[in-house]
A and B are shown apart, each in its own frame.
Chain A
Amino acid sequence: MTAPFEQTDDSVVVIIGTGAGGGVLANELAQKGVSVVSLEAGGRYLPEDFINDEWESFGQLAWTDPRTTSGDWRVAKDFSGLPAWIVKAVGGTTTHWAGASLRFQEHEWKAATTYGEVQGANLLDWPIDAAEMAPWYEKAETKLGVTRTGGRPGLPGNNNYKVFEKGAKALGYSEVHTGRMAINSEDYDGRLACQQTGFCFQGCKWGAKWSSVYTDIEYGEATGNLEVRERCHAARILHDDSGKVTGVEYFDADGNLQMQAARIVCVAGNSFESPRLLLNSASSMFPDGLANSSGQVGRNYMRHMTGSVYGVFDKPVRMWRGTTMAGIVQDEAKHDPSRGFVGGFELETLSLGLPFMAAFLDPGAWGREFTTALDGYENMAGLWIVGEDMPQETNRVTLNHDVTDQFGLPVVNVHFDDHPNDVAMRNYAYEKGMAIYDAVGATRTFPTPPYPSTHNLGTNRMSENARDGVVNKWGQTHDVANLFVSDGSQFTTGAAENPTLTIVALAIRQADHIAREMSAGTL
């Protein structure tokens, strides 16, 4: 069924990455009859392969190739070689994601206009808006089977949610529910309903959570128009004298350098690998890297303002039972500068197993203050804070020429400093999170620092003007007409919402655009 294409076939669209952006784009193009070769650095793991054991699963799925870090974020100290907790596998981080599927709020498309001048922030309005995106969001919600949209019922609340809900309502929050989730509340699209098994972060063994590896990738392959080459690591994008891209050099599973010709190249390797590939593709014509005439490739790295709060109670909660992200408070997602910061945040339940709780509750901590917290593990409830962080030009992915990967390619250094707005929002959110648990009788609460980043955004941002960013409103690079960016790195700003639904909506829209332009002969 899988279509094998010749490496010399320069009629194909080459897509690098198979996650929420690349995986969806590949399928959408294949459904329209476009020939696609997808290069995926990782291997293919399906529900039967997923492992419900945190560290073992991490070893199976996580991207652990070398990276370096700098800046004042605590991740640079505690997890200096692991700036992000993302996946190297077919399906990318859609195996790991929690499933929260929220649309941006209308004002978040226009952050610069809405928030005004924020010192030190490199804010910009998106060149698209809520009205433009509404139909694409609806297609994305239908594809993912998002609960509480399209008439699909919500998921039932687990123990962790019940504690969270009671505390939130006691504080007067009203937008409290079990979320809009790409986890089936009833059988959908040939996949089972959620069995409340936990381990959403380790790949859903029931297939109840949407992941591109067992949906879009398989549907695309079934058309005969999509070939996925696994364990193929893109190294460099090639171009001709006219400045159009012509193909992609990659290392195959045996470490041999190969080249696939291309009519169009779409980069969807997440917000570290995508700019890394553009920067590693520098040439005499593009000495600063491909599509980087603005100097913005790698800049404006955003990771969402995050943090967690865990509360310990005098009786068991057993938060690990059931859906990991089992509910949400949306009251704080609004823009209300009277709180002391611009933008807003969501509160979403979260749980970690004992092994990850030990690693992430307070990295580096030891002694009884720490261990008595873990002694209360069974009585713990947990929530995650996800809010809009400020883009800053100096928060940046660059090539680190002192460190190379297994292929001899320079790795990325990820530099991140919190913006004062991020700090103010986090401190406010910590207080609210702790108050939620205090309201239900917590005996102790823990404002837990951010984990290695799961939401990596903004390093090839979308802009109206070529000088301000890397891609236009279609994700097409300003500099190279047949080169696209198809992942979260094209985010102009991060909004308060988990990014996957927006990445998927943008990919569906981009596929429509690319197919139309190909038919018109303009690409």
Chain B
Amino acid sequence: MQKSASSGQAHRGLTRRQLLSRASAAGASFVVGAGFIAAPDAAWAAETVALKPGSFATLVQMARDIYPHDHVSDEYYVIAVRGYDSAEAAEGIEAGIAALDAAAQGRGHASYLAVSWERERVDILRAMEDSPFFQQIRGGLVTGLYNQKAVWPLFGYEGESFSEGGYIDRGFDDIAWL
């Protein structure tokens, strides 16, 4: 889809990543893009409590780079890492984000968020995947992202069926393409 690093994303206007980057640069309190500012339940879009807004934005991008699902919008990733925006967690997270940014700077970028291609961001993450920080974020996402009930329908997963009497009359054996 994308023709090159310089043209592909820029042609569609600001990307979510660039929005996040801009928020970070401006020191804005809101770290979320247009797509979810409009969401009715904006609890997750509130100001950060303990983390620098830019750090939170970086965390969201990192979450997406670890478990990228193009059909899953940012709001679910925000929810997945929201718990790190706390007084107890902030120091460790800020240190981890600083290390991430330092790695990006070592590759000639202004920050992790300023790295345009996912492939290159993933290279940065691969180089630090054994670090406690990376494992903390990745491990937390396994439940933080995939155990959100609102995410399940995006994968077709239906969750419990007991309340509807199971599938005995609702398609447990309805496969037709075999």
Task: Mark contacts of A369-380 with chain B using CB atoms, 8 A cut-off: 1 yes-contact digit, 0 otherwise.
Answer: 011001101100
Which residues of chain B from 59 to 83 have any CB-CB distance to chain A below 8 Å in the complex? 66-69, 71
Q: In the complex, are the beta carbons of A320 and B66 less than 8 A apart?
A: no
Q: In the complex, are the beta carbons of A375 and B173 less than 8 A apart?
A: no
B144 to chain A, nearest CB (A): 10
Stretch at the interface among B12-20, B91-99, B108-116, B160-168: B160-168
Question: Which residue of the partner chain B has the closest CB to A51?
Answer: B160
Interface size bucket, A side?
A: 35 or more
Q: In the complex, are the beta carbons of B162 and A378 less than 8 A apart?
A: no
Task: Mark contacts of A405-445 with chain B using CB atoms, 8 A cut-off: 1 yes-contact digit, 0 otherwise.
Answer: 00000000000000000000000000000000000100000
Which residues of chain B from 141 to 169 have any CB-CB distance to chain A below 8 Å in the complex? 142-143, 145-147, 151-152, 155-162, 165-168
Q: In the complex, are the beta carbons of A440 and B167 less than 8 A apart?
A: no
Q: Could you tell me how many residues of chain B have their Cβ less than 8 Å away from some Cβ of chain A?
A: 34
Interface of B is mostly: loop
- The answer to whether the Cβ of A166 comes within 8 Å of any Cβ in the partner chain is yes
Question: Which residue of the partner chain B has the closest CB to A356?
Answer: B146
Q: In the complex, are the beta carbons of B173 and A162 less than 8 A apart?
A: yes
Bound-state Cα–Cα, A498 to B5, Å: 54
Bound-state Cα–Cα, A318 to B142, Å: 21
When distances are taken between beta carbons in the complex, the residues of chain A under 8 Å from B157 are: 320, 353-354, 377-378
A196's partner among B122, B155, B166, B177 (CB-CB below 8 A) is B166
When distances are taken between beta carbons in the complex, the residues of chain A under 8 Å from B160 are: 52-53, 199
When distances are taken between beta carbons in the complex, the residues of chain B under 8 Å from A364 are: 138
Bound-state Cα–Cα, A320 to B171, Å: 11
A293 to chain B, nearest CB (A): 44
Question: Which residue of the partner chain B has the closest CB to A208?
Answer: B166
Question: Which residue of the partner chain B has the closest CB to A194?
Answer: B168
- The answer to whether the Cβ of B175 comes within 8 Å of any Cβ in the partner chain is yes
When distances are taken between beta carbons in the complex, the residues of chain A under 8 Å from B69 are: 371, 374-375
Q: How many cross-chain pairs have Cβ atoms below 8 Å apart between A and B? A: 111
Bound-state Cα–Cα, A517 to B111, Å: 77
Which residues of chain A from 183 to 225 have any CB-CB distance to chain B below 8 Å in the complex? 194-199, 205-206
Q: In the complex, are the beta carbons of B166 and A195 less than 8 A apart?
A: yes
Question: Which residue of the partner chain B has the closest CB to A198?
Answer: B161
Most chain B Cβ neighbours within 10 Å, of A157, A166, A353: A353
Q: In the complex, are the beta carbons of A354 and B172 less than 8 A apart?
A: no
- The answer to whether the Cβ of A321 comes within 8 Å of any Cβ in the partner chain is yes
Q: In the complex, are the beta carbons of B161 and A354 less than 8 A apart?
A: no
| CB within 8 Å for A355 and B172 given contacts A52-B161, A196-B166, A370-B67 | no
Seen from chain A, the residues whose Cβ lies within 8 Å of a Cβ on chain B are 52-55, 156-159, 162-163, 166, 194-199, 205-206, 315-318, 320-322, 353-355, 357-359, 364, 366-368, 370-371, 374-375, 377-378, 440
10 residue pairs from A and B, CB less than 8 Å apart: A158-B172, A159-B172, A163-B178, A196-B168, A197-B166, A206-B166, A321-B161, A359-B142, A366-B67, A374-B146
In the A-B complex, the 3 residue pairs with the closest CB atoms: A378-B156, A197-B166, A195-B166
